[in-house]
Amino acid sequence: MPDFSPSQPQSQITELQHGLPPRGFLPKAWIFSLSFWPLQIGGWCFFSLIPIGVWLSHSFADPMVRWLFLIRPVTGFLITLGCRPFCSRIFETRCSLLRLFFTILLASLVIGFLELQGSLLLGHFLGIEQTESKAQGIVSAMLLMRSGLLFIWFVLYFSLKNLRRSVELERRTQDAELQLLRSQVNPHFLFNALTTIMEVGKENAQVVAVTQSLCEYLRFSLTQGQGQGEDRHALNEELEALRSYLEVEKTRFEEDLEYAFEVEVAAGRARVPSALVQPLLENAIKYGQRTSPKPLRIHISASVTGDQTSAMLHLTVSNTGSWVEPHLANSLGTGTANLRRRLQLIYGDDASLKLSHAEGVVTACVSLPTISPLPPTRSNQSPDQSITTP
């Protein structure tokens, strides 16, 4: 008798079902309490204690030097506030760390110089003049101080943004795993029950085939989300599980359902996030059955464009039928919104999810950068990479 036991450790399932974080997971909920405005206002207010102390202690007799110290918190607050939207755009481009370092270094020097010159001009306009010759050296040193402070602000901004994105991705991955596990009353009981059904109905080839397909799909579903962070697997692994899923649906709908796969070999080996195709396929079946003439036709295709350094995976799930507005189908809006947000967290602006409807066909197209494909092996290749229809 085949062994259909899920490979996911029961201890981890128990931990998650009781609300316990997986081993190795560090709670980082405090990250989300750090919003921009409290840090921005609090940081510059704390920094203002330095120029206020310089002003009150008369550490510098030159009026211009004291003016430059006093005006710094105000100009720093306004300049960094103006830089925020540009920093957010740069962050979403997900540029390399080296490129980001030189970008913020150059920006700090240029902005620091312009801010210092503007403060000097404003001081002269207000009638504040430099009275000591040695103060010129102090003014020059303030350029480095201003640029250095801006550089520190940029580093803190991008570091906190990156930390928030990492924690949000980790939390969403854990939430998805918890949602999956809540639907499993007892995975071992379920697999044992399916094995019993196969034993009882072993004389009926269709019962055995459907049960086998269901077990293969459930095994893949239960193994998702075992690792920390966002798991990746070869696209073929999910497509083979969904092939089993479609075989079960085919038995249910019979002639009312037809499906086909068209997957390039390179696309099948591309590593993708977990549960990439499943929500799109579930929407295609659910809403296609409502709006499509019989039979419902589903087509799944995947291809790769570009070279190894800039390869893009293009995945398409299309079905006959008409478009269902998200406000009329909450699960459709939630499923696509969650998938789009996951892609944004993992790939930034490099990935996209587009939905379209034309000539009686609804199409969902996902484009994302591919991780270096696995070397071609038998285990990674689908039995048939051309168009197949049951």
Q: Dihedral sign, CA of 246, 280, 277, 168?
A: negative
pLDDT tens per residue, range 113-135:
999 999 999 998 988 887 766 66
pLDDT of residue 224: 63
Q: E strands along the chain, which residues?
A: 232-234, 257-263, 271-273, 296-305, 312-320, 352-358, 361-369
Quickly tell me which residue has 């609804």 as its tokens: 362
Domain ranges within the chain, ordered by starting residue: 34-177, 255-390
Give 181's contacts (C-beta < 8 A, 6+ positions apart).
13, 16, 17
Q: How many CA atoms lie within 13 A of 318 on its CB side?
A: 19
- Max Cα distance, the chain (Å): 104
pLDDT of residue 375: 43
pLDDT of residue 185: 42
Q: Residue 59 and residue 203: Cα distance in Å, rounded?
A: 96
Q: Residue 154 and residue 84: Cα distance in Å, rounded?
A: 9
Most confident range, picked from 33-42, 91-100, 168-177, 323-332: 91-100
Is residue 257 within 8 A of residue 293, CB to CB? The reply is no
Q: Which of 171-175, 179-183, 256-260 has the lowest average pLDDT?
A: 179-183
Q: Which of 124-128, 217-221, 362-366 has the lowest average pLDDT?
A: 217-221
Query: Residue 97 pLDDT > 60, yes or no?
Result: yes
pLDDT of residue 298: 95
Quickly tell me which residue has 């949000």 as its tokens: 168
| Mean pLDDT for the chain overall | 78
What is the pLDDT confidence band of residue 138, given thresholds at 50, 70 and 90?
A: confident
* Mean pLDDT score, 20-31: 47
Quickly tell me which residue has 């079946």 as its tokens: 285
Which one has a higher pLDDT value, 19 or 337? 337
DSSP assigned state of 387: -
Is residue 235 within 8 A of residue 269, CB to CB? The reply is yes
Backbone angles phi, psi at 210, to 5 degrees: -65, -45
Q: Residue 70 and residue 27: Cα distance in Å, rounded?
A: 41
Domain spanning 255-390: CATH 3.30.1490.20: no
Is residue 313 within 8 A of residue 273, CB to CB? The reply is no
- Both tokens of residue 31? 């990250």
Quickly tell me which residue has 């001081």 as its tokens: 123
Rounded (5°) CA angle 175-176-177: 90
Q: Residue 151 and residue 104: Cα distance in Å, rounded?
A: 7
pLDDT tens per residue, range 325-363:
655 555 555 677 888 888 888 888 889 999 999 888 999
* Mean pLDDT score, 204-229: 68
What is the pLDDT confidence band of residue 201, given thresholds at 50, 70 and 90?
A: low
Is residue 321 within 8 A of residue 330, CB to CB? The reply is no
Residue 362, classified by CB atoms within 10 Å of its CB into exposed (0-12), middle (13-18) or buried (19+), is: buried
pLDDT of residue 134: 64
pLDDT tens per residue, range 32-89:
567 788 889 999 999 999 888 888 887 788 888 889 988 999 999 999 999 999 999 9
Q: Dihedral sign, CA of 35, 36, 41, 45?
A: positive
Is residue 362 within 8 A of residue 219, CB to CB? The reply is no
Q: What percent of the chain has pLDDT over 70?
A: 72
Phi-psi region at 315: left, alpha or beta (left = phi > 0; alpha = psi -120 to 50): beta
What is the pLDDT confidence band of residue 165, given thresholds at 50, 70 and 90?
A: confident
